Structure 1
Amino acid sequence: MPDLITLLELAAILAMTGVVAGILAGLLGVGGGIVIVPVLFQMFALIDVDPSIRMHLAVGTSLTTIVATSAISTRAHNRRGAVDWDLLKSWWIWILLGTLAGTAVAGYVRSAVLIAVFACVALFVSIFMATTKPDFRLRDGLPRGAGKAASGAAMGAVSAMMGIGGGTLGVPFMSACGYPVHKAVGTAAAIGFIIAVPATFGFMLSGWGDEALPELSIGFVSILGVVLITPLSTAAAPWGARLAHAASPIVLRRLFALFLLLTAARMFWGLL
Protein backbone atom coordinates (compact mmCIF):
# COMPACT_ATOMS: atom_id res chain seq x y z
CA MET A 1 0.00 0.00 0.00
CA PRO A 2 1.28 3.54 -0.76
CA ASP A 3 2.14 5.86 2.13
CA LEU A 4 0.00 8.80 3.23
CA ILE A 5 1.95 11.38 1.22
CA THR A 6 1.55 9.34 -1.97
CA LEU A 7 -2.16 8.95 -1.33
CA LEU A 8 -2.55 12.70 -0.83
CA GLU A 9 -0.65 13.38 -4.05
CA LEU A 10 -2.86 10.95 -5.94
CA ALA A 11 -5.97 12.55 -4.45
CA ALA A 12 -4.79 15.97 -5.61
CA ILE A 13 -4.11 14.64 -9.12
CA LEU A 14 -7.58 13.10 -9.27
CA ALA A 15 -9.20 16.32 -8.06
CA MET A 16 -7.44 18.34 -10.77
CA THR A 17 -8.39 15.68 -13.29
CA GLY A 18 -12.01 16.13 -12.30
CA VAL A 19 -11.89 19.87 -13.01
CA VAL A 20 -10.16 19.44 -16.38
CA ALA A 21 -12.48 16.58 -17.36
CA GLY A 22 -15.56 18.62 -16.52
CA ILE A 23 -14.40 21.60 -18.55
CA LEU A 24 -13.62 19.34 -21.50
CA ALA A 25 -17.00 17.65 -21.18
CA GLY A 26 -18.78 20.95 -21.56
CA LEU A 27 -16.34 22.42 -24.08
CA LEU A 28 -15.97 19.46 -26.41
CA GLY A 29 -18.81 17.10 -25.50
CA VAL A 30 -16.31 14.33 -24.72
CA GLY A 31 -17.56 13.34 -21.28
CA GLY A 32 -14.09 13.87 -19.83
CA GLY A 33 -13.05 10.27 -20.45
CA ILE A 34 -10.32 11.27 -22.88
CA VAL A 35 -8.50 12.80 -19.89
CA ILE A 36 -9.70 10.51 -17.11
CA VAL A 37 -8.70 7.16 -18.65
CA PRO A 38 -4.97 7.87 -19.14
CA VAL A 39 -4.68 9.62 -15.77
CA LEU A 40 -6.38 6.75 -13.95
CA PHE A 41 -4.22 4.26 -15.86
CA GLN A 42 -1.08 5.98 -14.57
CA MET A 43 -2.49 6.34 -11.06
CA PHE A 44 -3.28 2.64 -10.87
CA ALA A 45 0.29 1.90 -11.98
CA LEU A 46 1.63 4.03 -9.13
CA ILE A 47 -0.32 2.04 -6.55
CA ASP A 48 0.67 -1.27 -8.17
CA VAL A 49 -2.69 -2.40 -9.50
CA ASP A 50 -2.25 -5.65 -11.43
CA PRO A 51 -1.37 -4.78 -15.08
CA SER A 52 -3.87 -7.38 -16.30
CA ILE A 53 -6.80 -5.29 -15.05
CA ARG A 54 -5.27 -1.81 -14.93
CA MET A 55 -6.87 -0.57 -18.15
CA HIS A 56 -10.17 -2.29 -17.40
CA LEU A 57 -10.33 -0.48 -14.06
CA ALA A 58 -9.45 2.86 -15.67
CA VAL A 59 -12.11 2.44 -18.37
CA GLY A 60 -14.84 1.30 -15.98
CA THR A 61 -14.12 4.08 -13.49
CA SER A 62 -14.06 6.69 -16.25
CA LEU A 63 -17.43 5.56 -17.60
CA THR A 64 -18.93 5.83 -14.11
CA THR A 65 -17.81 9.45 -13.75
CA ILE A 66 -19.21 10.23 -17.20
CA VAL A 67 -22.74 9.33 -16.09
CA ALA A 68 -23.00 12.48 -13.98
CA THR A 69 -20.72 14.70 -16.06
CA SER A 70 -22.55 14.05 -19.32
CA ALA A 71 -25.93 14.63 -17.66
CA ILE A 72 -24.83 18.04 -16.37
CA SER A 73 -23.19 18.92 -19.68
CA THR A 74 -26.31 17.90 -21.63
CA ARG A 75 -28.46 20.10 -19.42
CA ALA A 76 -26.15 23.07 -19.96
CA HIS A 77 -26.13 22.64 -23.74
CA ASN A 78 -29.88 22.03 -23.87
CA ARG A 79 -30.48 25.43 -22.30
CA ARG A 80 -28.80 26.87 -25.37
CA GLY A 81 -30.82 24.71 -27.76
CA ALA A 82 -27.75 22.72 -28.80
CA VAL A 83 -29.08 19.17 -28.26
CA ASP A 84 -30.81 17.50 -31.22
CA TRP A 85 -33.44 15.40 -29.47
CA ASP A 86 -35.05 14.31 -32.73
CA LEU A 87 -31.77 12.75 -33.83
CA LEU A 88 -31.32 11.02 -30.48
CA LYS A 89 -34.83 9.51 -30.64
CA SER A 90 -33.94 7.69 -33.85
CA TRP A 91 -30.34 6.86 -32.94
CA TRP A 92 -30.24 5.93 -29.26
CA ILE A 93 -31.26 2.27 -29.63
CA TRP A 94 -28.36 1.55 -32.01
CA ILE A 95 -25.93 3.37 -29.76
CA LEU A 96 -27.19 1.34 -26.81
CA LEU A 97 -26.86 -1.99 -28.63
CA GLY A 98 -23.32 -1.12 -29.69
CA THR A 99 -22.47 -0.11 -26.14
CA LEU A 100 -23.67 -3.44 -24.78
CA ALA A 101 -21.62 -5.33 -27.36
CA GLY A 102 -18.48 -3.28 -26.73
CA THR A 103 -18.81 -3.65 -22.98
CA ALA A 104 -19.16 -7.43 -23.29
CA VAL A 105 -16.03 -7.67 -25.44
CA ALA A 106 -14.03 -5.34 -23.17
CA GLY A 107 -14.69 -7.50 -20.14
CA TYR A 108 -12.86 -10.47 -21.65
CA VAL A 109 -9.96 -9.09 -23.72
CA ARG A 110 -6.46 -8.36 -22.40
CA SER A 111 -5.60 -4.91 -21.06
CA ALA A 112 -3.21 -4.32 -23.97
CA VAL A 113 -6.11 -4.65 -26.41
CA LEU A 114 -8.04 -1.86 -24.67
CA ILE A 115 -4.92 0.33 -24.60
CA ALA A 116 -4.36 -0.23 -28.32
CA VAL A 117 -7.99 0.56 -29.17
CA PHE A 118 -7.84 3.76 -27.13
CA ALA A 119 -4.56 4.94 -28.66
CA CYS A 120 -5.44 4.10 -32.28
CA VAL A 121 -8.87 5.73 -32.24
CA ALA A 122 -7.61 8.82 -30.41
CA LEU A 123 -4.77 9.25 -32.92
CA PHE A 124 -7.06 8.80 -35.93
CA VAL A 125 -9.60 11.33 -34.71
CA SER A 126 -6.85 13.77 -33.72
CA ILE A 127 -5.37 13.70 -37.24
CA PHE A 128 -8.82 14.06 -38.77
CA MET A 129 -9.73 17.06 -36.66
CA ALA A 130 -6.33 18.73 -37.12
CA THR A 131 -6.16 18.34 -40.89
CA THR A 132 -9.73 19.11 -41.93
CA LYS A 133 -11.44 22.48 -41.98
CA PRO A 134 -14.59 23.27 -39.96
CA ASP A 135 -16.65 23.18 -43.16
CA PHE A 136 -15.31 19.74 -44.21
CA ARG A 137 -18.14 17.52 -45.39
CA LEU A 138 -18.34 13.88 -46.33
CA ARG A 139 -22.03 14.28 -47.02
CA ASP A 140 -25.01 16.47 -46.17
CA GLY A 141 -26.94 14.83 -43.37
CA LEU A 142 -26.47 11.63 -41.40
CA PRO A 143 -26.84 8.29 -43.19
CA ARG A 144 -30.22 6.64 -43.07
CA GLY A 145 -31.36 3.07 -42.51
CA ALA A 146 -28.53 0.54 -42.15
CA GLY A 147 -25.89 3.26 -42.30
CA LYS A 148 -27.42 5.09 -39.39
CA ALA A 149 -27.72 1.89 -37.37
CA ALA A 150 -24.12 0.88 -38.10
CA SER A 151 -22.68 4.28 -37.22
CA GLY A 152 -24.58 4.40 -33.92
CA ALA A 153 -23.59 0.85 -32.98
CA ALA A 154 -19.93 1.46 -33.86
CA MET A 155 -19.89 4.66 -31.83
CA GLY A 156 -21.34 2.92 -28.79
CA ALA A 157 -19.07 -0.14 -29.03
CA VAL A 158 -15.79 1.72 -29.48
CA SER A 159 -16.63 4.36 -26.87
CA ALA A 160 -17.48 1.69 -24.30
CA MET A 161 -14.16 -0.06 -24.93
CA MET A 162 -12.27 3.23 -24.59
CA GLY A 163 -14.09 4.50 -21.50
CA ILE A 164 -15.15 7.73 -23.19
CA GLY A 165 -18.35 9.64 -23.83
CA GLY A 166 -19.86 10.21 -27.24
CA GLY A 167 -17.87 13.26 -28.26
CA THR A 168 -14.59 11.72 -29.35
CA LEU A 169 -16.32 9.91 -32.20
CA GLY A 170 -19.66 11.69 -32.33
CA VAL A 171 -18.42 15.26 -32.80
CA PRO A 172 -16.20 14.62 -35.85
CA PHE A 173 -18.73 12.21 -37.38
CA MET A 174 -21.67 14.58 -37.05
CA SER A 175 -19.55 17.52 -38.20
CA ALA A 176 -18.52 15.57 -41.30
CA CYS A 177 -22.20 14.95 -41.99
CA GLY A 178 -23.01 18.65 -42.05
CA TYR A 179 -23.91 19.33 -38.40
CA PRO A 180 -22.75 22.65 -36.90
CA VAL A 181 -19.98 21.92 -34.41
CA HIS A 182 -21.77 23.54 -31.45
CA LYS A 183 -24.86 21.41 -32.00
CA ALA A 184 -22.70 18.32 -32.53
CA VAL A 185 -20.98 18.96 -29.19
CA GLY A 186 -24.29 19.37 -27.35
CA THR A 187 -25.82 16.25 -28.87
CA ALA A 188 -22.63 14.26 -28.20
CA ALA A 189 -22.91 15.11 -24.51
CA ALA A 190 -26.29 13.37 -24.44
CA ILE A 191 -24.85 10.41 -26.37
CA GLY A 192 -22.23 10.14 -23.63
CA PHE A 193 -24.97 9.53 -21.08
CA ILE A 194 -26.55 6.82 -23.25
CA ILE A 195 -23.17 5.07 -23.44
CA ALA A 196 -22.00 5.55 -19.86
CA VAL A 197 -24.99 4.16 -17.95
CA PRO A 198 -25.15 0.61 -19.39
CA ALA A 199 -21.36 0.41 -19.78
CA THR A 200 -20.86 1.24 -16.11
CA PHE A 201 -23.05 -1.65 -15.01
CA GLY A 202 -21.36 -3.91 -17.54
CA PHE A 203 -17.87 -3.19 -16.20
CA MET A 204 -19.08 -3.68 -12.65
CA LEU A 205 -20.45 -7.11 -13.54
CA SER A 206 -17.53 -8.28 -15.69
CA GLY A 207 -15.03 -7.47 -12.95
CA TRP A 208 -17.12 -8.76 -10.06
CA GLY A 209 -15.07 -10.95 -7.72
CA ASP A 210 -11.75 -10.49 -9.54
CA GLU A 211 -9.05 -11.20 -6.94
CA ALA A 212 -6.66 -8.64 -8.44
CA LEU A 213 -8.96 -5.69 -7.75
CA PRO A 214 -7.76 -3.06 -5.27
CA GLU A 215 -9.82 -2.18 -2.22
CA LEU A 216 -12.90 0.02 -2.58
CA SER A 217 -13.76 -1.36 -6.01
CA ILE A 218 -17.04 -2.66 -7.37
CA GLY A 219 -16.00 -4.82 -10.28
CA PHE A 220 -13.92 -2.72 -12.67
CA VAL A 221 -15.00 0.54 -11.01
CA SER A 222 -12.84 2.28 -8.40
CA ILE A 223 -15.16 3.96 -5.92
CA LEU A 224 -12.30 6.16 -4.67
CA GLY A 225 -11.67 7.44 -8.19
CA VAL A 226 -15.38 8.12 -8.76
CA VAL A 227 -15.77 9.96 -5.45
CA LEU A 228 -12.77 12.20 -6.05
CA ILE A 229 -13.40 13.00 -9.73
CA THR A 230 -17.18 13.20 -10.16
CA PRO A 231 -18.10 16.19 -7.90
CA LEU A 232 -15.52 18.47 -9.47
CA SER A 233 -16.13 17.29 -13.03
CA THR A 234 -19.88 17.90 -12.74
CA ALA A 235 -19.28 21.34 -11.21
CA ALA A 236 -16.89 22.31 -14.01
CA ALA A 237 -18.98 21.01 -16.94
CA PRO A 238 -21.14 24.19 -17.23
CA TRP A 239 -17.95 26.29 -17.40
CA GLY A 240 -16.89 24.34 -20.46
CA ALA A 241 -20.33 24.67 -22.03
CA ARG A 242 -20.14 28.46 -21.72
CA LEU A 243 -16.68 28.45 -23.29
CA ALA A 244 -17.93 26.26 -26.15
CA HIS A 245 -20.58 28.78 -27.15
CA ALA A 246 -18.09 31.63 -26.96
CA ALA A 247 -15.32 29.96 -28.98
CA SER A 248 -14.99 29.75 -32.74
CA PRO A 249 -15.42 26.36 -34.50
CA ILE A 250 -11.79 26.31 -35.60
CA VAL A 251 -10.58 26.80 -32.01
CA LEU A 252 -12.77 23.94 -30.82
CA ARG A 253 -11.41 21.63 -33.51
CA ARG A 254 -7.79 22.45 -32.75
CA LEU A 255 -8.24 22.01 -29.00
CA PHE A 256 -9.97 18.71 -29.57
CA ALA A 257 -7.17 17.51 -31.86
CA LEU A 258 -4.42 18.56 -29.44
CA PHE A 259 -5.87 16.72 -26.45
CA LEU A 260 -6.45 13.59 -28.49
CA LEU A 261 -2.92 13.65 -29.92
CA LEU A 262 -1.29 13.97 -26.50
CA THR A 263 -3.46 11.23 -25.11
CA ALA A 264 -2.75 8.85 -27.99
CA ALA A 265 1.00 9.39 -27.69
CA ARG A 266 0.96 8.58 -23.98
CA MET A 267 -1.06 5.42 -24.46
CA PHE A 268 1.17 4.18 -27.28
CA TRP A 269 4.12 4.75 -24.97
CA GLY A 270 2.41 2.56 -22.40
CA LEU A 271 2.36 -0.34 -24.88
CA LEU A 272 6.16 -0.29 -25.30
Structure 2
Amino acid sequence: MFIEFSIYILTGIIAGFFAGLLGIGGGLIIVPVLTSVFLYFIEGPHLVHLAIGTSMATILITSLASVKAHHRHDAVRWDIVKTLTPGIFIGGILGGWISQYISAPMLAKIFAVIEFGIALKMLLDLQPNPHREMPGIAGRSVAGTIIGSISALVGIGGGALNTPYMVWHNVSMRQAIATSAACSLPIAAAGTLGFLIGGWNIPNLPDHAIGYIYWPAFLGIVIASFFTAPIGAAMTHKLPVKTLKRIFAILLIILAIKMFWF
Protein backbone atom coordinates (compact mmCIF):
# COMPACT_ATOMS: atom_id res chain seq x y z
CA MET A 1 0.00 0.00 0.00
CA PHE A 2 2.94 2.34 0.70
CA ILE A 3 4.23 2.10 -2.89
CA GLU A 4 0.76 2.55 -4.30
CA PHE A 5 0.05 5.62 -2.16
CA SER A 6 3.48 7.09 -2.99
CA ILE A 7 2.63 6.90 -6.70
CA TYR A 8 -0.60 8.77 -6.07
CA ILE A 9 1.28 11.52 -4.21
CA LEU A 10 3.86 11.85 -7.00
CA THR A 11 1.04 12.04 -9.54
CA GLY A 12 -0.58 14.80 -7.49
CA ILE A 13 2.67 16.80 -7.36
CA ILE A 14 3.05 16.80 -11.14
CA ALA A 15 -0.63 17.14 -12.05
CA GLY A 16 -1.21 19.92 -9.54
CA PHE A 17 1.71 21.99 -10.82
CA PHE A 18 0.68 21.78 -14.46
CA ALA A 19 -2.97 22.33 -13.57
CA GLY A 20 -2.07 25.63 -11.94
CA LEU A 21 0.42 26.60 -14.63
CA LEU A 22 -1.74 25.87 -17.70
CA GLY A 23 -5.28 25.88 -16.27
CA ILE A 24 -5.93 22.32 -17.47
CA GLY A 25 -7.26 20.66 -14.32
CA GLY A 26 -4.67 17.86 -14.19
CA GLY A 27 -6.85 15.09 -15.59
CA LEU A 28 -4.74 14.72 -18.73
CA ILE A 29 -2.02 13.28 -16.50
CA ILE A 30 -4.11 11.73 -13.74
CA VAL A 31 -6.34 9.51 -15.91
CA PRO A 32 -3.61 7.61 -17.83
CA VAL A 33 -1.42 7.30 -14.73
CA LEU A 34 -4.26 5.94 -12.59
CA THR A 35 -5.32 3.56 -15.33
CA SER A 36 -1.80 2.08 -15.38
CA VAL A 37 -1.50 1.96 -11.59
CA PHE A 38 -4.91 0.34 -11.19
CA LEU A 39 -3.88 -2.47 -13.54
CA TYR A 40 -1.31 -3.52 -10.92
CA PHE A 41 -3.19 -2.85 -7.69
CA ILE A 42 -6.89 -3.29 -8.48
CA GLU A 43 -8.86 -6.04 -10.18
CA GLY A 44 -12.04 -5.56 -12.16
CA PRO A 45 -13.46 -4.42 -15.50
CA HIS A 46 -14.03 -0.77 -14.53
CA LEU A 47 -10.49 0.56 -14.19
CA VAL A 48 -10.85 3.35 -16.75
CA HIS A 49 -14.15 4.48 -15.22
CA LEU A 50 -12.52 4.53 -11.77
CA ALA A 51 -9.56 6.51 -13.12
CA ILE A 52 -11.79 9.12 -14.76
CA GLY A 53 -14.19 9.39 -11.81
CA THR A 54 -11.31 9.75 -9.36
CA SER A 55 -9.69 12.33 -11.62
CA MET A 56 -12.87 14.39 -11.58
CA ALA A 57 -12.97 14.33 -7.79
CA THR A 58 -9.33 15.41 -7.48
CA ILE A 59 -9.80 18.28 -9.95
CA LEU A 60 -12.40 19.73 -7.60
CA ILE A 61 -9.72 20.21 -4.92
CA THR A 62 -6.90 21.15 -7.30
CA SER A 63 -9.06 23.82 -8.93
CA LEU A 64 -9.85 25.44 -5.59
CA ALA A 65 -6.18 25.90 -4.84
CA SER A 66 -5.40 27.07 -8.38
CA VAL A 67 -8.28 29.54 -8.56
CA LYS A 68 -7.26 31.19 -5.28
CA ALA A 69 -3.81 31.84 -6.71
CA HIS A 70 -5.17 33.21 -10.01
CA HIS A 71 -7.70 35.36 -8.17
CA ARG A 72 -4.91 37.01 -6.18
CA HIS A 73 -3.48 38.14 -9.53
CA ASP A 74 -6.91 39.54 -10.47
CA ALA A 75 -6.97 37.35 -13.59
CA VAL A 76 -10.30 35.48 -13.26
CA ARG A 77 -13.22 36.79 -15.33
CA TRP A 78 -15.97 35.94 -12.86
CA ASP A 79 -18.62 37.38 -15.19
CA ILE A 80 -17.76 34.63 -17.71
CA VAL A 81 -17.62 31.94 -15.01
CA LYS A 82 -21.11 32.83 -13.78
CA THR A 83 -22.68 32.64 -17.24
CA LEU A 84 -20.92 29.43 -18.32
CA THR A 85 -21.49 27.55 -15.06
CA PRO A 86 -25.17 26.46 -15.53
CA GLY A 87 -24.45 24.79 -18.88
CA ILE A 88 -21.16 23.36 -17.63
CA PHE A 89 -22.83 21.82 -14.59
CA ILE A 90 -25.61 20.20 -16.63
CA GLY A 91 -23.10 18.91 -19.17
CA GLY A 92 -20.81 17.61 -16.43
CA ILE A 93 -23.52 15.50 -14.81
CA LEU A 94 -24.59 14.23 -18.24
CA GLY A 95 -21.05 13.24 -19.23
CA GLY A 96 -20.37 11.45 -15.96
CA TRP A 97 -23.67 9.59 -16.07
CA ILE A 98 -23.30 8.53 -19.73
CA SER A 99 -19.90 6.97 -19.00
CA GLN A 100 -21.52 3.89 -17.42
CA TYR A 101 -22.86 2.89 -20.84
CA ILE A 102 -19.44 2.99 -22.53
CA SER A 103 -17.02 0.06 -22.22
CA ALA A 104 -13.63 0.64 -20.58
CA PRO A 105 -11.60 0.01 -23.79
CA MET A 106 -13.80 2.40 -25.78
CA LEU A 107 -13.65 5.04 -23.04
CA ALA A 108 -9.85 4.73 -23.02
CA LYS A 109 -9.73 5.28 -26.79
CA ILE A 110 -12.02 8.31 -26.58
CA PHE A 111 -9.74 9.76 -23.93
CA ALA A 112 -6.64 9.00 -26.03
CA VAL A 113 -8.02 10.73 -29.12
CA ILE A 114 -8.99 13.85 -27.17
CA GLU A 115 -5.68 13.93 -25.31
CA PHE A 116 -3.71 13.54 -28.55
CA GLY A 117 -5.65 16.42 -30.11
CA ILE A 118 -4.98 18.64 -27.10
CA ALA A 119 -1.28 17.70 -27.15
CA LEU A 120 -0.99 18.47 -30.86
CA LYS A 121 -2.59 21.86 -30.32
CA MET A 122 -0.13 22.62 -27.51
CA LEU A 123 2.88 21.36 -29.45
CA LEU A 124 2.08 23.48 -32.51
CA ASP A 125 0.90 26.38 -30.33
CA LEU A 126 -2.32 26.62 -32.30
CA GLN A 127 -4.64 29.35 -31.11
CA PRO A 128 -7.87 30.56 -32.69
CA ASN A 129 -7.82 34.08 -34.06
CA PRO A 130 -9.87 36.30 -31.74
CA HIS A 131 -12.51 37.98 -33.85
CA ARG A 132 -15.69 38.25 -31.84
CA GLU A 133 -17.08 39.04 -28.41
CA MET A 134 -18.39 36.42 -25.99
CA PRO A 135 -21.91 35.30 -27.03
CA GLY A 136 -25.03 35.91 -24.99
CA ILE A 137 -26.54 33.67 -22.33
CA ALA A 138 -27.99 31.18 -24.82
CA GLY A 139 -24.70 30.76 -26.68
CA ARG A 140 -22.70 30.42 -23.47
CA SER A 141 -25.16 27.85 -22.13
CA VAL A 142 -24.79 25.67 -25.22
CA ALA A 143 -20.99 26.02 -25.18
CA GLY A 144 -20.87 25.27 -21.45
CA THR A 145 -23.00 22.15 -21.84
CA ILE A 146 -20.79 20.77 -24.62
CA ILE A 147 -17.54 21.59 -22.79
CA GLY A 148 -18.87 20.19 -19.51
CA SER A 149 -20.12 16.91 -20.98
CA ILE A 150 -16.93 16.17 -22.95
CA SER A 151 -14.69 17.15 -20.05
CA ALA A 152 -16.57 15.03 -17.51
CA LEU A 153 -16.78 12.05 -19.85
CA VAL A 154 -12.99 11.81 -20.10
CA GLY A 155 -12.08 13.20 -16.66
CA ILE A 156 -10.41 16.50 -17.54
CA GLY A 157 -11.03 19.90 -16.01
CA GLY A 158 -12.11 21.54 -19.25
CA GLY A 159 -9.28 24.06 -19.52
CA ALA A 160 -8.09 22.54 -22.79
CA LEU A 161 -11.53 23.34 -24.24
CA ASN A 162 -12.45 26.44 -22.26
CA THR A 163 -9.21 28.33 -22.86
CA PRO A 164 -9.30 28.32 -26.71
CA TYR A 165 -13.05 29.04 -26.59
CA MET A 166 -12.42 32.18 -24.55
CA VAL A 167 -9.37 33.27 -26.58
CA TRP A 168 -11.48 32.91 -29.73
CA HIS A 169 -13.89 35.38 -28.15
CA ASN A 170 -11.26 38.03 -27.43
CA VAL A 171 -10.40 37.07 -23.85
CA SER A 172 -6.67 37.50 -23.17
CA MET A 173 -4.61 34.33 -22.77
CA ARG A 174 -3.76 35.14 -19.14
CA GLN A 175 -7.41 35.71 -18.24
CA ALA A 176 -8.54 32.68 -20.27
CA ILE A 177 -6.20 30.35 -18.35
CA ALA A 178 -7.29 31.76 -15.00
CA THR A 179 -10.98 31.72 -15.90
CA SER A 180 -10.69 28.16 -17.24
CA ALA A 181 -9.29 27.11 -13.88
CA ALA A 182 -12.37 28.60 -12.21
CA CYS A 183 -14.68 26.86 -14.69
CA SER A 184 -13.07 23.56 -13.71
CA LEU A 185 -14.87 23.81 -10.36
CA PRO A 186 -18.43 23.26 -11.70
CA ILE A 187 -17.15 20.71 -14.23
CA ALA A 188 -15.44 18.72 -11.49
CA ALA A 189 -18.38 19.00 -9.08
CA ALA A 190 -20.89 17.86 -11.70
CA GLY A 191 -18.61 15.17 -13.13
CA THR A 192 -17.90 13.77 -9.67
CA LEU A 193 -21.63 13.61 -8.98
CA GLY A 194 -22.23 11.95 -12.35
CA PHE A 195 -19.60 9.26 -11.74
CA LEU A 196 -20.91 8.65 -8.23
CA ILE A 197 -24.42 8.12 -9.60
CA GLY A 198 -23.24 6.17 -12.65
CA GLY A 199 -21.21 3.70 -10.58
CA TRP A 200 -23.42 3.52 -7.51
CA ASN A 201 -24.97 0.11 -8.21
CA ILE A 202 -22.12 -1.36 -10.25
CA PRO A 203 -20.97 -4.72 -8.82
CA ASN A 204 -17.38 -5.86 -8.30
CA LEU A 205 -15.92 -2.46 -7.56
CA PRO A 206 -12.80 -2.51 -5.35
CA ASP A 207 -12.80 -1.86 -1.63
CA HIS A 208 -12.60 1.83 -0.71
CA ALA A 209 -14.50 2.84 -3.87
CA ILE A 210 -17.82 4.66 -3.83
CA GLY A 211 -19.36 4.75 -7.27
CA TYR A 212 -16.52 5.27 -9.72
CA ILE A 213 -14.33 7.12 -7.22
CA TYR A 214 -11.41 5.31 -5.61
CA TRP A 215 -10.70 7.19 -2.39
CA PRO A 216 -7.08 6.12 -1.64
CA ALA A 217 -6.01 7.54 -5.00
CA PHE A 218 -8.11 10.65 -4.42
CA LEU A 219 -6.48 11.32 -1.04
CA GLY A 220 -2.92 10.76 -2.25
CA ILE A 221 -3.34 13.05 -5.25
CA VAL A 222 -5.11 15.93 -3.49
CA ILE A 223 -2.70 15.94 -0.55
CA ALA A 224 0.06 16.85 -3.01
CA SER A 225 -1.82 18.80 -5.70
CA PHE A 226 -3.43 21.17 -3.21
CA PHE A 227 0.05 22.57 -2.50
CA THR A 228 1.59 22.40 -5.98
CA ALA A 229 -1.36 23.90 -7.92
CA PRO A 230 -0.87 27.40 -6.40
CA ILE A 231 2.85 27.17 -7.21
CA GLY A 232 2.05 26.41 -10.84
CA ALA A 233 -0.50 29.24 -10.96
CA ALA A 234 2.05 31.71 -9.62
CA MET A 235 4.64 30.48 -12.13
CA THR A 236 2.25 31.32 -15.01
CA HIS A 237 3.47 34.89 -14.65
CA LYS A 238 7.19 33.98 -14.38
CA LEU A 239 8.08 30.87 -16.39
CA PRO A 240 8.35 30.47 -20.21
CA VAL A 241 4.90 28.92 -20.53
CA LYS A 242 5.21 28.26 -24.28
CA THR A 243 8.31 26.13 -23.77
CA LEU A 244 6.73 24.23 -20.89
CA LYS A 245 3.59 23.63 -22.94
CA ARG A 246 5.64 21.95 -25.67
CA ILE A 247 7.41 19.71 -23.15
CA PHE A 248 4.05 18.90 -21.56
CA ALA A 249 2.56 18.16 -24.98
CA ILE A 250 5.20 15.51 -25.69
CA LEU A 251 4.35 13.86 -22.37
CA LEU A 252 0.65 13.91 -23.29
CA ILE A 253 1.32 12.25 -26.64
CA ILE A 254 3.14 9.42 -24.88
CA LEU A 255 0.28 9.02 -22.41
CA ALA A 256 -2.31 9.14 -25.21
CA ILE A 257 -0.55 6.33 -27.09
CA LYS A 258 -0.54 4.27 -23.91
CA MET A 259 -4.26 4.87 -23.33
CA PHE A 260 -5.15 4.00 -26.92
CA TRP A 261 -3.68 0.54 -26.46
CA PHE A 262 -5.35 -0.07 -23.09
Smaller-chain TM-score bracket: over 0.9
Partner of 2:208: 216
Partner of 1:173: 165
**Which of 102, 112, 126 is matched with 2:119 structurally?**
126
User: Given the superposition, is the C-alpha separation of residues 39 and 133 from structure 1 closer, same or farther in structure 2, using an over 3 Å criterion?
Assistant: closer
2:47 matches 1:45: no
2:185 matches 1:193: yes
User: Given the superposition, is the C-alpha separation of residues 255 and 82 from structure 1 closer, same or farther in structure 2, using an over 3 Å criterion?
Assistant: farther
Q: Distance in 1 between matches of 2:184 and 2:79?
A: 16
Structure 2: which 5+ runs fail to align? none
The Cα of 1:70 is off from its aligned counterpart by: 0.4
Partner of 2:226: 234
Structure 1: which 5+ runs fail to align? 1-6
Paired letter, 1:108: Y
User: Given the superposition, is the C-alpha separation of residues 141 and 247 from structure 1 closer, same or farther in structure 2, using an over 3 Å criterion?
Assistant: farther
Percent of pairs identical after alignment? 35
**Which of 24, 29, 36 is matched with 2:30 structurally?**
36
Structure-1-length-normalised TM-score: 0.89
Deviations 1:144-177 (A, max 9, x none): 4554332211110011011111212212332333
* Counterpart contact for 2:92–2:194, Cα < 8 Å: no
Q: Distance in 2 between matches of 1:48 and 1:87?
A: 41
**Which of 104, 111, 115 is matched with 2:104 structurally?**
111
Deviations 1:123-163 (A, max 9, x none): 112222322456x4153333445543322111100110111
Paired residue secondary structure (1:245): coil
User: Given the superposition, is the C-alpha separation of residues 200 and 66 from structure 1 closer, same or farther in structure 2, using an over 3 Å criterion?
Assistant: same
2:43 matches 1:89: no
**Which of 121, 134, 142 is matched with 2:134 structurally?**
142
User: Given the superposition, is the C-alpha separation of residues 129 and 160 from structure 1 closer, same or farther in structure 2, using an over 3 Å criterion?
Assistant: same
User: Given the superposition, is the C-alpha separation of residues 160 and 232 from structure 1 closer, same or farther in structure 2, using an over 3 Å criterion?
Assistant: same
* Counterpart contact for 2:27–2:59, Cα < 8 Å: yes
Partner of 1:76: 69
Q: How many pairs align?
A: 262
Partner of 2:20: 26
2:52 matches 1:62: no
Partner of 1:3: none
Deviations 1:207-262 (A, max 9, x none): 12422211111111111111111111101111101111113453354245334323
* Counterpart contact for 1:33–1:62, Cα < 8 Å: yes
